[in-house]
Amino acid sequence: MNEGVLNDSSPRAFCAFRADARLYGIDVACLREISANTTITPVPRAPPVIRGLANLRSRIFLILDLRALLGLPPAPCTADSRLIILKPTVAEDMGLLADRGGDILTALPDRIASVDAALPMSDAPSADQARSLVVGMCKLENELMMIIDAVRLADTVARATTNTEVIR
Amino acid sequence: MSQDPGFAHRFVAEAREHLAAMASAMLALERNQRGSPQPLIEELLRAAHSIKGGAGFTGRRNIEQLAHGFEQAIENIRDGSIDRTAEVVDTLLAVLDRIATLVDDVDRSDESDISEPLARMRPLTTAGTSPHGPPVQTRDEPPPGAASLATATPTTTEGEFKITEQLRKAWPDDRGFLYGVKLDWSQCERQFGLPPMIVAERIERAGRVLDSRTQVAGPALRDGPPRPPFWYLAIVSSSVALDAFTGELDISCATVVQLGQKPGVASEKDRPPAAEAPRPRGAATATSLRVSVPLVDRMMALAGELVLVRNQALRSADPANSPLRRLLRRLDSVTNELQDAALRMRTQPVGTLFDRFPRVVRDLARQLGKQIDVRITGAEVELDKTILELLSDPLTHLIRNCCDHGIEMPERRVESGKPPGGRIGLSARQERGQIVIEINDDGRGIDAEAIRRTAIEQGLKRGDELDRMSDRQLFGLILLSGFSTAKRLTDLSGRGVGMDVVKTNLDQIGGVVEIDSVAGRGSTFTLRLPLTLAIMPCLLVQTDGQCYGVPQRDVEEILLLDARVARRRIERSHDGEVLRWRGRLLPVVRIRDVLGRQTFDASEAVTGEAATASTGYAAVVRLGSRRFVLAFDEVVGSENIVVKPLHPLLRPLGIYAATTILGDGGVALILSGEGVARHVGILDKAVGDGVEALPGAASDTREESVLLFRCGPEELLGVHMRAVRRVVMIAPDRITRIGARELVNVDGAATNVIRIDHVLNVSACRDADRLFLLLSSDRDRHVGLLVSEIVDTPTLALQLDARAYRADGVLGSAMIRGQIALFLDLDRIVRIWEQVNQPGLLALPDGKAAAGRILVVDDTRFFQKLVAEHLRGARYEVTVADNGSAALARLREERPDLVVCDIEMPVMDGHAFARAVRVDPSIARTPLVALTTLNTPESRAAAAQSGFDAYEVKLDRQTLLATVDRLLNRARASGELAGAQSHE
């Protein structure tokens, strides 16, 4: 999966952020910006992975809840929370709400391994979903960073939305 | 050939316009069998020639060839060598269609095979020209018409134009001069900025082109793109002399030679010929220009941003800093105008859409063997371009439907006493901030029985449900997906897609459709559309701390839902709440229930108590002829919001229409009235139509006349008309200041001027050349309220909210046409003013003690206070009670002189109270006045029966006072004044 991207020989840059204690990363090539302004308008009746809408310089972004995507229980926004906004080429007007982080770090390809579905994860209902999002692992100094495929992320949400029968 | 993509764009844009005009001219030509076709033919020739020229220049050979063939065919029609039969028109329309297809994909136009249309057109093109020249040529040879042009050498103009015999014949007598024009297309474009279409038009304008040709020098095409110059030679006839012709032509790089002059033709000097239009093109180029749509959209977005900046600035401005506020107000009005102008840039006349339908109808009619005429009115009405585009499919579908299912076969029509030709009317008009488009036919109408049958067959509705539906609702069923009553599927409206297409598209643009039909007489489809999609007047409401928008077009009225209203007017029906509203039962939808509560942040969570608080507001939402009541917590305000499209992933939810950015930078969701209704399923219910009248229910809300006005620039104020004796206009310089008071002469009496900002905390009255004085209805007081502007005097059912703005002298606020108006108690304002300015007057008039003691009984504190204040103002002593039983206790204890009592009250209502009074000998003679909102003969009779002496409707102060006065005098006269006894 995504061999072409993961097996390049030059160092790769990731935007690293956390959900709960775990560290996740998204290729900076997929990134538009990182924002600390986490004023989010909730969208009632939307599936839980949709956290709400945020206004960044007069553009409205659909914000996904990273925790919900990974099957973690929801948590309120804090001063550490960050919006990871994706490039329009990856997903139109879309971003991710992470618990904290947002730093850029680089890693050489030999520290990165692609993963397949057998990754042990939580047993939460959307564990399958979460597993399908993580496409690689990156070995850092003292922990592992899970690499999330942003394109797949957008697809997952699109599916989640269209499959949600609006409950009367 | 030209490598400039901008040029190709212009060619495409202009060719499309020409093609549209040509199609309608063809139809007109066909209809207009007897009249003079000359102007139409001229128009067709000009347009075809322009397309040919542009295509030739940009190197689109296929388009050029087809346009050339078309031009020849029209010439043959003009010369009478072929007839304007329907078949000929069919063929030529097909050619136009083909050209249009090629133009749509202009870059690949030459890859297409056009031998079929050329072959089909050949009889038309050769009919006239075959005796004189060869049929359609390829590009490398001169086109047939150019046979008369000598092979030109591009460096000289001498002898380049040869006048053949054929050309001489074509030279009209009324254009006595013949000129040769030569120019270089590329030079015109590069040095003078004149694209070929403009050049061609100028030449057409200056005279009639009898022959023309474009010549490209240099290597053969296969050796690569040719290089300029691209010579154009034309032989033009005109009625003016050389100087005037050159001026008319207005192309400085063109060389003009005079080739001939008919004998006896006087030169008409500089005057443009009467036969030619007086240069409309020149005027048009000066006042309009082509702007790309994305640029307009960008401008629109920027205007929207400016609105946000303005809102934020207004919010953060220090109210005390008046120069800044003045600046901001100026910014405010400029922003509004900018937004308005940007908005108007997006609009186009609906005619651009309507114009295609005569063609559509003609083709369908021929296919079906029917005769159908289309009448278009209101083509000039302007509509947002985006809406126009989205309207195209639904309108086409409706029109096809009319042709196919509506209009009968000619024999059938004659049998039923109609003219054999059917008629379809298409009209547009602006109405109440909406665009209304109406499509009607005089066909067979919609068979309500067939709809019933189909609905039952397809299991869409049950028989008893259908029985409860009105005709209009029944007709509305044909908009459901999968519904078709047509007996056979035709090529036209029945190809698997039904009328649901219409509804789907209209939903998308926030439009609604209504269907009316009379069997045998015809049907009418009425579409109601917003003027624009970019800006939407919205009511902003709040529920559970979140702000939502409701499109103002859906909101008919805003109601205050306090505990009392809720108790009296909301009832539980079998499957939900309904509200009594003007004699109808409307389903109640609570935003909270629709949206559920789904908040993650603790700060956003709402406590159970707040969520179930019984007071709130409700909007009567109207969707076509159906209404429902949308209940929410608070009204935030009404704003023209800049619409931002809903994220595609949120569209499947169905309940939101769009999003917007609020003044504080937050995002708000705009609810879709239709979506909400569908979500809770009320659109399908019989009760959802809101047309069921309640038996015997009188309207709860009385309509009353109010006067809306402004004093200062900010607040919209209102008073009941009853409270105003008269409005007089005064000149501000006539106001005389005496001490702290201001007086002005009204009808010879010195009248005190009240400035509202001296009494209430509102902005001061603006200075103006003329001001107005609202004279209090109390004739004994010579006072009037100074007003800068009279806004309106509407009659409406007021729902005053006394909570939002509390101040002495203010009755409450109300939402009127999306604006919040503050309603004043004029009497009270006068008295507050008097306390400050004329303390002496408050003393009771000499000799009169307190005029009497009155008990006011009302369960609504608001009314209680209002009536009490009013009576106190008339020098009565007033006590109050909340219901009949409390009143009874007070009456026995305090023995007031008179009781003013509401009828509908909890615990003990007015009737029970009156009956109790009349059976208690100690108080039985107390005069009782019923004061209620009900006003029916039945309720009056009931009140009289219970023992009331008088019946007053809430709230006419003067008649109430008169009644109280009358009853007290009567009681005094009979010497049994309860008060007197109790004082003894």
Residues of chain B neighbouring A76 (CB-CB closer than 8 A): 600-603
* DSSP states along B753-801: EEPHHHHSSSPPPPP-SSEEEEEES-TTS-EEEEESEEEE--EEE---B
Residue B159, Cβ neighbours under 10 Å: how many? Answer: 11
Average pLDDT, integer, range B474-496: 55
Confidence of residue A10 (pLDDT cuts 50, 70, 90): confident
Average pLDDT over residues B19-42: 78
Which pLDDT score is estimated for B223? 62
Of the pLDDT bands very low, low, confident and very high (cuts 50, 70, 90), residue B309 is confident
**Gap from A112 CA to chain B (nearest CA, Å):** 33
Alpha carbon distance B694, B579 (integer Å): 11
How many whole angstroms from its chain centre is CA B256?
Answer: 52
State yes or no: pLDDT of B681 exceeds 90: no
Which among A41, A74, A166 has the least Cβ separation from residue B667? A41
Q: 3-state DSSP call for residue B289?
A: coil
Verify whether the Cβ–Cβ distance A51 to B600 is below 8 Å: yes
- The gap from C-alpha B477 to its chain's centroid, in whole angstroms, comes to 26
- How many cross-chain Cβ pairs, A to B, lie less than 8 Å apart? 87
More confident residue, B979 or B298: B298
B665 touching A, CB under 8 A?
yes
Nearest CA to A110 out of A26, A4, A3, A11 is that of A11
pLDDT band at B264 (very low <50, low <70, confident <90, very high): low
Residue A129, pLDDT score: 58
Chain A residues with CB inside 8 Å of B594's CB? 44-45
Sorting pLDDT into bands at 50, 70 and 90, what band is A161? low
Share of chain B above pLDDT 90, in %: 3
Question: Tens digit of pLDDT for each residue in B174-209?
Answer: 778 888 888 888 878 777 677 787 788 888 878 888
Q: Which of A26-30, B162-166, B752-756 has the lowest mean pLDDT?
A: B162-166
**For B666, which of A41, A50, A162 is closest by C-beta distance?**
A41
Question: B674 with B628: CB under 8 angstroms?
Answer: no
Residue A155, exposed/middle/buried by CB under 10 A (0-12, 13-18, 19+)?
A: middle
Select from A40, A55, A57 the residue whose CB has the most chain B CBs within 10 Å, as the one to mutate to test that interface.
A55
The Cα of A44 is separated from the nearest Cα of chain B by a number of Å equal to 5
If we measure between CA atoms, which residue out of B711, B708, B727 comes closest to residue B815?
Answer: B708
What distance, in Å, lies between the first and last C-alpha atoms of chain A? 40
Name the band, by pLDDT with cuts 50, 70 and 90, for residue B497. Answer: very low
Tell me, yes or no, if B298 comes closer than 8 A to chain A by beta carbon: no
Selected residue with higher pLDDT from B777 and A119: B777
Q: How would residue B34 be classed by pLDDT, with cut points 50, 70 and 90?
A: low
- Tell me the pLDDT band of B977, cut-offs 50, 70 and 90: very low
Q: What is the rounded distance in angstroms from the CA atom of residue A119 to the CA atom of residue A140?
A: 18
Residue B128 pLDDT level (bands cut at 50, 70, 90): very low
Per-residue model confidence (pLDDT) at position B498: 59
Distance (Å, whole) CA A68 – CA A47: 10
B534 to chain A, minimum CA–CA distance in Å? 15
pLDDT one-digit tens code per residue, B628-668: 889 888 888 777 787 888 888 888 888 898 898 887 778 99
User: Which residues touch B330 (CB under 8 Å, ≥6 apart)?
Assistant: none
Tokens, residue B540: 């902003």
For residue A41, what are its two tokens? 């308008």
Q: What is the pLDDT of residue A160?
A: 67
Distances (CA, A) of B344 to B59, B296, B786: 36, 10, 38
Q: What pLDDT was estimated at residue B669?
A: 93
Mean pLDDT of B145-157: 38
Name the token pair of B840.
Answer: 């002496």
Mean pLDDT of B855-875: 80
Report yes or no: B443 and B525 within 8 Å, Cβ to Cβ: no
pLDDT of residue A20: 85
Q: Which residues of B touch A52 (CB under 8 A)?
A: 667
Given a contact cutoff of 8 angstroms between Cβ atoms, the answer to whether B175 and B239 are in contact is yes
Judge contact between B624 and B503, C-beta under 8 A.
no
Nearest-by-CA chain A residue for B599: A42
Sign of the torsion angle spanned by Cα atoms B387, B393, B396, B398: negative
Whether residue B600 and residue A55 make contact (CB cut-off 8 A), yes or no, is no
Distance from CA of A139 to the nearest CA of B (A): 33
Interchain contact B644–A (C-beta under 8 A): yes
| Cβ-based contacts of A94 with chain B (< 8 Å) | 647
Nearest to B644 among A48, A60, A167 (CB): A60
pLDDT tens digits along B580-630: 877 778 888 888 888 875 443 333 333 333 334 456 788 888 876 678 889
Q: Which residues of B touch A156 (CB under 8 A)?
A: none
Exposure of B564 in the CB half-sphere (CA atoms within 13 A):
14
| Whole-number Å distance between alpha carbons of B199 and B188 | 8
Identify the DSSP state of A73.
P
Q: Residue B493 pLDDT more than 70?
A: no
Residue B265: what pLDDT? 57
Report the DSSP pairing between strands A100-107 and B422-431: unpaired
Q: B661 in contact with A at a CB cutoff of 8 Å?
A: yes
Q: Is the pLDDT of residue A119 over 50?
A: no
Q: Which of B305, B589, B632, B667 to mutate to test the interface with A (most CBs of A within 10 A)?
A: B667
Which of A94, A161, A168 has its CB closest to that of B679? A168
> Is residue B375 pLDDT above 70, yes or no?
yes
Do B716 and B818 touch, CB atoms closer than 8 A? no
pLDDT single digits (tens) B103-112: 888 888 888 8
CB under 8 Å to B275, separation ≥6 — which residues?
B174, B239
Highest mean pLDDT among A40-49, B166-175, B378-387: A40-49
Dist CA B229 CA B219 (whole Å): 12
Q: In angstroms, what separates the C-alpha of B342 from chain A's closest C-alpha?
A: 18
Identify which of B908, B900, B910 has the alpha carbon closest to the alpha carbon of residue B879: B900
Task: For residue B257, name the pLDDT band (cuts at 50, 70, 90).
Answer: confident
What does the pLDDT read at residue B420? 87
| Spatial CA neighbour of B535 closest among B331, B285, B771, B300 | B300
Q: What is the pLDDT of residue B138?
A: 37
Q: Catalogue the E-assigned strands of B190-327.
A: 208-216, 230-238, 255-261
Q: Kindly list the strands in the beta sheet with B656-661, ordered across the sheet, starting from the edge strand earlier in the chain.
A: B634-642, B535-543, B546-551, B667-671, B656-661
**Confidence at A122, pLDDT banded by 50, 70, 90:** very low
How confident is the model at residue B708, as a pLDDT? 86
pTM of this prediction exceeds 0.80: no
| pLDDT recorded at residue B427 | 92
Which residue in A37, A43, A85, A164 has the most chain B C-beta atoms within 10 A of its own C-beta, making it the best mutation to test that interface?
A43
How many C-beta atoms surround the C-beta of residue B628 within 10 A?
28
With an 8 Å Cβ cutoff, are A75 and B598 in contact? Answer: no
Look up residue B782 and give its two tokens: 């010579």
Residue of A nearest to B308 (CA): A58
More confident residue, B20 or B311: B20
pLDDT single digits (tens) B893-942: 888 889 999 888 878 889 999 999 988 888 888 899 998 877 788 888 88
B582 φ, ψ to 5°? Answer: 50, 45
- The residue with tokens 């133009």 is B103
Q: Identify the residue among A39, A53, A86, A163 best suited for mutation to test binding to B, counting B beta carbons within 10 A and taking the highest.
A: A53
Q: Minimal Cα distance from B666: which residue of A? A: A55
Of B308, B648, B650, the CB nearest to A58: B308
**Sequence-separated contacts (24+) of B112-115 with Cβ below 8 Å:** B112/B62, B114/B62, B114/B65, B114/B66
Please provide the DSSP assignment of A12-68 as one string.
Answer: EEEEEEEETTEEEEEEGGGEEEEE-----B--TTS-TTEEEEEEETTEEEEEEEHHH
Region B365-380: what's the mean pLDDT? Answer: 86
Question: CB-hemisphere CA count at 13 Å for B730?
Answer: 28
Q: Is B305 on the interface with A (CB under 8 A)?
A: yes
Which of B601, B649, B685 is the best substitution to test chain A (most A C-beta atoms within 10 A)? Answer: B649
pLDDT higher than threshold 50 for residue B490: no
Cβ A134 vs Cβ A146: under 8 Å: yes
Q: Judge whether B152 and B214 are in contact, CB under 8 Å.
A: no
Three-state SS at B546: strand
> Letter for the amino acid at B636?
V
What is the model's pLDDT at position B142?
Answer: 39
**Cα gap B180→B163, rounded to integer Å:** 10
Q: Record the tokens describing residue B111, joined without a space.
A: 């890859």
Query: How high is the pLDDT of residue B782?
Result: 80
Phi, psi of B399 (to 5 degrees): -65, -45
Task: Look up residue B900 and give its two tokens.
Answer: 């003013």
B983 falls in which pLDDT band (50, 70, 90)? Answer: very low
Confidence of residue B278 (pLDDT cuts 50, 70, 90): very low
Q: Write the DSSP symbol of residue B693.
A: B
B315 membership: H or E segment, kind and range: helix B293-316
- Of the two residues B772 and B956, the one the predictor is more confident about is B772
Cβ–Cβ < 8 Å for B903, B932:
yes
Share of chain B above pLDDT 70, in %: 80
- Angle of helix B196-206 versus helix B280-287 axis, rounded to 10: 150
Q: Comparing B966 with B264, which gets the higher pLDDT?
A: B966
Position A25 scores a pLDDT of 92
Beta-bridge partner residues of B425: B375, B440
Rounded Cα distance between A31 and A88, Å, is 9
Environment class of B502 (CB within 10 Å of its CB; exposed 0-12, middle 13-18, buried 19+):
buried
Instruction: Summarize pLDDT for B56-81 with one digit per residue, the tens.
Output: 777 788 888 889 889 888 888 888 78
CA distance B883 to B904: 9
Judge whether B198 and B11 are in contact, CB under 8 Å: no
The stretches of B489-586 forming alpha helices (DSSP H) are 500-508, 563-569
